[in-house]
A and B are shown apart, each in its own frame.
Chain A
Amino acid sequence: MKKSHMASILTFLLLVPATLYLGTRLPGRSYYITSTLIIIELMIPFFLAYEGRRPQARELVLIAVMAAAAIASRVAIPLPHFKPVFAVIILSGVVFGPEAGFMVGAITAFASNFFYGQGSFTPWQMMAFGAGGMLAGFVFQKKGLPRKPWIIAAFGFLTVVLWIGPLLDCSHIFLIMSKISWEAVLAVLLAGFYANISQAICTVITLLLFGKPILEKLDRVRIKYGMTN
C-alpha cells in the first residue's frame, strides 16, 4: 500500500478519534483547539496524497498561478469589498478537477494570509476554500453538471452561503462564546449572514460576467499543456 494511503487511513481511524477523545477530557473550553486540530488532520491526507504522487512542474505552476490570481484578483476590481477570490477557485476546480480545486483553494487561503495576516481562522479558511474548490471539481466533472456560467454561478452562490460562510463563522463561535448553545450558533450565523450573502453575490456576479471567458482561457492552457482531465 502507498505511504499516502496509509497516512489517510491512520488519520481517519486513529488521529481524529484520539483528538476527539482528548478534547472531551480537557477541562474548560477546549473545543476551539479540538475542532481546529480535527480540521487540520482532515486536510493532512489530501496534502500527503498530493506530495506522494510527486506532482509535475506544470501541475504545480498551474495551481500556483491560479492561487496567486485568486489572491491578486481583489486588487483588480476597483470596487471596495468586492472579492472575486472564491469565483476564481471554483473555476479552477471546474476546469482542472477536484484535486486541483482543493489545492488551489487551500493554498489560496493559506498564502493570502501571509500577505494579509494569519489568524485563528486560517485552517478553517483553508478547509472551506479547499473543499469548495474540490466540490466544484466533482460537480462539474465530465459526467456532471454542464459547465454553463449560470449553473456555475448558482453553485457558487450555494457553496458560499451554505458552506464557506457558515464554516468560517463556526471558527468564531468556538472562540468567542463561553457556552456553545443553539441560540449562540444561530446568533453568530445570523450576524454573519449579511456578509455571507454579499460575498455570495460577488461570487455570482463574477462567475456570470467572467465565467465564460475564463473557462475558455483555462481550457486553452489545459490543451496547450496536453492535460486531458
Chain B
Amino acid sequence: MMEQDAFGKCHPAVNFLFFVGAIGFGVLIQHPVYLAAGALCAGIYYMLLHGAQGWKRILQLLPLFVLLTLINPLFNIQGERVLFDVFGRPYTLEALIYGADVAGIFVVMLLWFGCYNRILTGDKFTSLFGNWIPAISLLLVMVFRMVPGLMGKSKQIAAARRSVGKGVGTSTRQKLDAGMAVLSALISWALEGSVVTGDSMRARGYGTAKRTSFQLYRMTVRDGLLLATMMFLGASVIGVAVMGGMGAEFTPRLQIAPVSGWSVLGLAAYCLFLLIPTAMHCKEALQWSISKLKI
C-alpha cells in the first residue's frame, strides 16, 4: 500500500469533494489567468506526490499540449487575425490562443487525475459510498480482491503449461493459442473459486439483514472544518463566476474579463481552494523537519 500524504490521510469525503471541485472548475473555467493558476497548483501538487518522476511525466505532457494547440485552429476557423491558410481555410490567431487554452485545460485535468489516482484509492472510494450503494461497493471491493489473485493465477497457469511443453512456441499464432488456453483455464479456476466465495458470503450472513458499512475513516473536527472551508471557497468561486468575473471568449474576438477589483477575490478563492492539499503536505513535511531538528 502506498503511504498517503497529509491530505490523503483526511476523510475520503474531503478528498472526493476537493477533486470534484478542482477538476470541475478546471474544466469549466476557461479564463486564462485561472487556467494558469490551476496549472501551477496542479503541477506543484503533482510533483509533491510523484517526486522525481513527476518532472518527467509533466515534461511528457508538453508535446501533447503543443499538438492539441496546433490542431484546434484547423477545426475552428473563426477569428479576426488570419495567420495563414490551410487547405484554403483560415488559420487564425484567436483560434490558436483558444486552442492553447483548451489544451491547457486538458493538461491540467490530466494532472489532477494523476493526483486523484494517488489519493482516492479503491478502499476510500468504497468506504465513502458503502452506505449509499452497498451492493455495488461490495462488488467493487470483491473485484479489487480478485484481480491481483487472478493475475497471479494466470502467471501460474502459463508457467505450469510451459513446464509440460505447452505454449513454448514463439510465433504470433502460437502465442495467441497459448494465451487463449491460459485465459480459458483462468476463467474455469475463477468460476469454481467463486462457488466457494459465494458460500462463504452466505455462511457469514450476507443478505440476511440490511448491510451496514464498517467506517475505517472517521470524520474528525479538522475534516469538518476543511469541508466547510472548501465549500465556502467553492461558493465564492461560483459567485464570482456568476457575476461574470471569469468570462472569457476567444473566437471570433478575444473578450477576456479583466481580473481586477472585486473579481480578484474569485481568483484568490480559487487559488486558496487548489492549494489546500499542497499546504497540508508542506505543513506536515515542515513539522517533521522541525521535530527532527529539535532532536
Contact = CB atoms under 8 A, between A and B. Distances in A.
Q: Is B a genuine binding partner of A? A: yes
Contact of A178 (B23, B134, B202, B251): B251
B87 to A, nearest CB: 11
A213 interface: yes
Nearest to B95: A178
Interface in A122-162: none
Interface string B160-186: 000000000000100111111011101
B133 A217 contact: no
Given A33-B24, A84-B183, A221-B191, A75 B135 contact: no
Interface in B61-81: 68, 71-72, 74-76, 78
Which of A61, A63, A112, A214 has the most chain B CB within a 10 Å cutoff? A61
A221 B175 contact: no
Nearest to B23: A120
B207 A177 contact: no
B147 A51 contact: no
Interface in B88-129: 95, 98-99, 101-103, 105-106, 109-110, 113-114, 116-117, 121-122, 125
Contact of A72 (B30, B76, B154, B195): B154
A69 to B, nearest CB: 5
B106 A175 contact: yes
A172 B223 CA distance: 35
Contact of B28 (A28, A50, A63, A225): A28
A35 to B, nearest CB: 11
A61 B186 contact: no
Given A175-B106, A178-B102, A115 B182 contact: no
Contacts of A225: 195, 198
Contacts of B72: 176-178
A28 B71 CA distance: 19
A73 B142 CA distance: 17
Q: DSSP class of B's interface residues: helix, strand, loop or mixed? A: helix
A27 B135 CA distance: 38
B28 to A, nearest CB: 6
Nearest to A50: B135
A68 B143 contact: yes
Nearest to B155: A75
Contact of B140 (A54, A73, A110, A209): A110
Q: DSSP class of A's interface residues: helix, strand, loop or mixed? A: helix
A132 B71 CA distance: 32
B37 to A, nearest CB: 17
Which of B27, B102, B105, B248 has the most chain A CB within a 10 Å cutoff? B27
Interface in A15-58: 26-30, 32-33, 47, 50-51, 54-58
A69 B186 contact: yes
A103 interface: yes
B136 A47 contact: yes
B144 A77 contact: no
Given A69-B186, A119-B113, A205-B176, A54 B207 contact: yes
Given A29-B102, A72-B150, A79-B179, A54 B30 contact: no
A179 B110 CA distance: 20
User: Nearest 4 A-B pairs (CB), nearest first?
Assistant: A77-B179, A68-B146, A64-B142, A72-B150
Interface of B: 23-24, 27-30, 68, 71-72, 74-76, 78, 95, 98-99, 101-103, 105-106, 109-110, 113-114, 116-117, 121-122, 125, 133-136, 138-140, 142-144, 146-147, 149-151, 154-155, 157-158, 172, 175-180, 182-184, 186-188, 190-195, 197-198, 201-202, 206-207, 247-251
23 contacts: A50-B135, A61-B194, A62-B194, A64-B139, A65-B191, A69-B186, A71-B143, A72-B150, A72-B154, A75-B151, A76-B179, A77-B179, A77-B182, A82-B176, A88-B187, A111-B144, A114-B121, A120-B109, A177-B76, A178-B101, A179-B78, A181-B76, A213-B184
Given A28-B29, A107-B139, 11 more contacts: A51-B135, A55-B135, A61-B142, A78-B178, A110-B140, A115-B147, A176-B68, A177-B76, A178-B75, A178-B251, A187-B74
